[in-house]
């Protein structure tokens, strides 16, 4: 758990010559508490931060399934985020984490990074990881332990994780009676939510499928309406489901775009990585 003392320890590491200290406001917290006159550390993009603000931002990012660290501060005189990429090493020097928290976060980062580059599940027969190369085909073959043990091709359904029944390839379901798309069910039945800092947003579905890659995402309901997909890293509006640049043509970060709240999704986009 974070403590005041751990923050103070971070503040005192001024002998670290790799850090550049500056005497100006925290760009992640432009309205600090009165009397907070401590030095800030200048990040590689030029924005100034404190361990407190950086730790809070770091935690919220990982809670949203993010593992790439882009500066959230606004560029001078604009409403556009800096979005400069900070390395984990740069961020790690200043965030306040226990050893256990650091290990947990680094394991989470590794899992998130893996999902960006491959689509895999655990084989129901042998529990080995299987990658699905054809994202339009639910019929998947286990090429490892199952096939070696049984001396034949072992196929299972990517959707219901049961032995494959019926003709293949198929993109909707196999012939098992209880095979259904649980992700679509979740999008259809999830609760609705409101955004306290975005004007007039009520009854927005609390779970969305990324319009680029189909990854399920939730918004933490703080800050602006946009979210960065943890898998494809595309930023889109959680409210209208348009990509950020398209949405901002008729709105801002804290008001809905002209189309308002997009309805519940009835299909999940397939991510064509090379498209």
pLDDT digits (tens, 9 = 90+) for 115-127: 655 667 778 878 7
Query: What is residue 4's predicted lDDT score, i.e. its pLDDT?
Result: 42
Q: Would you state the pLDDT for residue 144?
A: 66
Residues 157 and 171 in one domain: yes
Residue 106: CB atoms within 10 A of its CB come to 13
Environment class of 59 (CB within 10 Å of its CB; exposed 0-12, middle 13-18, buried 19+): middle
Segment 27-31 mean pLDDT:
76
User: String of b and e for 144-168 (b: at least 16 CB within 10 Å)?
Assistant: eebbeeeeeebbbbbbbeeebbeee
Same domain, 77 and 131: no
pLDDT of amino acid 192: 93
Question: Which ranges of 118-211 does DSSP label H, i.e. alpha helix?
Answer: 145-150, 182-189
Query: Is 138 found in the same domain as 213?
Result: no
Mean pLDDT of 130-158: 80
pTM of the entire predicted model: 0.51
Domain membership of residue 55 as a residue range:
20-30+37-116
- Asked if the structure places residue 1 within a domain, the reply is no
Is residue 89, in this structure, part of any structural domain at all?
A: yes
Q: What is the mean pLDDT of residues 152-168?
A: 88
Residue 60 and residue 93 in one domain: yes
Angle 51-66-47 (CA atoms, 0-180°, nearest 5)? Answer: 40
- Mean pLDDT calculated for residue range 100-104: 82
83 with 143, same domain? no
Number of domains in the chain: 3
Closest CA to 181 of 149, 218, 138: 138
Instruction: With beta carbons less than 8 A apart as the criterion, state whether 269 and 260 touch.
Output: no
Regarding beta strands 20-22 and 40-42, do their DSSP bridges make them parallel or antiparallel, or are they unpaired? antiparallel
pLDDT at residue 166 in the model: 93
Asked, for residue 269, whether it belongs to a domain, the answer is no
Residue whose C-alpha is closest to residue 262's, from 223, 232, 213, 225: 225
Whether 15 maps to a domain, the answer reads: no
For residue 274, tell me if it sits in a domain.
no
Q: How far apart are CA 39 and CA 43, in angstroms?
A: 13
Helix intervals (H) in the chain: 4-11, 51-63, 88-92, 99-117, 145-150, 182-189, 244-247
Q: Quick one: pLDDT band at residue 8, thresholds 50, 70, 90?
A: very low
Arithmetic mean of pLDDT, 207-211: 94
Same domain, 129 and 190: no
> Is 7 part of any domain?
no
Quick one: pLDDT band at residue 198, thresholds 50, 70, 90?
A: confident
Query: Is residue 239's pLDDT more than 50?
Result: yes
What pLDDT sits at residue 2? 41
Whether residues 24 and 57 fall in one domain: yes
Q: Report yes or no on 259 lying in a domain.
A: no
Domain boundary among 179, 194, 218: 179
Q: How confident is the model at residue 30 (pLDDT cuts 50, 70, 90)?
A: low
Is residue 153 in some structural domain? Answer: yes
pLDDT above 70 as % of the chain:
83
Verify that 103 and 76 share a domain, yes or no.
yes
Which two structure tokens, joined as six digits, stand for 92?
């790690």
């Amino acid at each position: 758990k974070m403590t005041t003392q751990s923050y103070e320890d971070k503040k005192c590491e001024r002998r670290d010559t790799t850090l550049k200290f500056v005497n100006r406001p925290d760009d992640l917290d432009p309205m600090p508490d009165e009397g907070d006159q401590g030095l800030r550390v200048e990040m590689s993009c030029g924005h100034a931060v404190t361990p407190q603000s950086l730790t809070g931002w770091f935690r919220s990012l990982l809670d949203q399934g993010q593992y790439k660290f882009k500066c959230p501060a606004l560029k001078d005189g604009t409403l556009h985020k800096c979005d400069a990429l900070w390395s984990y090493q740069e961020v790690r020097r200043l965030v306040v984490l226990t050893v256990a928290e650091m290990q947990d976060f680094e394991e989470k980062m590794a899992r998130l990074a893996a999902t960006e580059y491959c689509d895999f599940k655990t084989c129901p027969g042998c529990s080995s990881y299987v990658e699905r190369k054809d994202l339009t085909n639910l019929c998947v073959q286990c090429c490892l332990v199952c096939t070696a043990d049984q001396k034949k091709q072992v196929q299972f359904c990517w959707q219901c994780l049961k032995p494959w029944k019926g003709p293949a390839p198929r993109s909707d379901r196999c012939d098992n009676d209880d095979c259904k798309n649980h992700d679509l069910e979740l999008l259809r039945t999830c609760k609705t939510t409101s955004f306290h800092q975005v004007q007039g947003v009520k009854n927005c579905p609390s779970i969305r499928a990324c319009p680029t890659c189909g990854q399920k995402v939730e918004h933490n309901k703080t800050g602006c309406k946009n979210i960065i997909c943890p898998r494809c890293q595309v930023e889109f509006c959680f409210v209208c489901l348009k990509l950020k640049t398209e949405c901002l043509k008729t709105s801002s970060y804290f008001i809905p775009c002209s189309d308002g709240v997009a309805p519940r999704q009835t299909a999940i986009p397939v991510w064509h990585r090379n498209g």
